Amino acid sequence: MHAAKVIEFKPDQLMVHASHDGKYKWIRYAAVGLDPSVKVAQQPKEVLPRREDFALGDTVSFDGRDLIRKFGKISRINQKTASIVCEDDHEW
pLDDT band at 87 (very low <50, low <70, confident <90, very high): confident
Residue-range domain boundaries for the chain: 1-35, 51-86
Selection from 28, 31, 6, 3 nearest residue 16 by Cα: 6
**Residue-level pLDDT at 85:** 92
Composition of the chain by helix, strand, coil, percent to 5: 5, 40, 55
Could you give the 3-state DSSP secondary structure of residue 30? Answer: helix
Span 17-42, average pLDDT? 83
Highest mean pLDDT among 21-25, 35-39, 64-68: 21-25
Selection from 41, 40, 42, 16 nearest residue 1 by Cα: 16
What digits encode the pLDDT tens for the residues 38-81?
Answer: 777 777 888 888 888 999 999 998 887 778 888 999 999 988 88
CA atoms within 13 A on the CB side of 25: 15
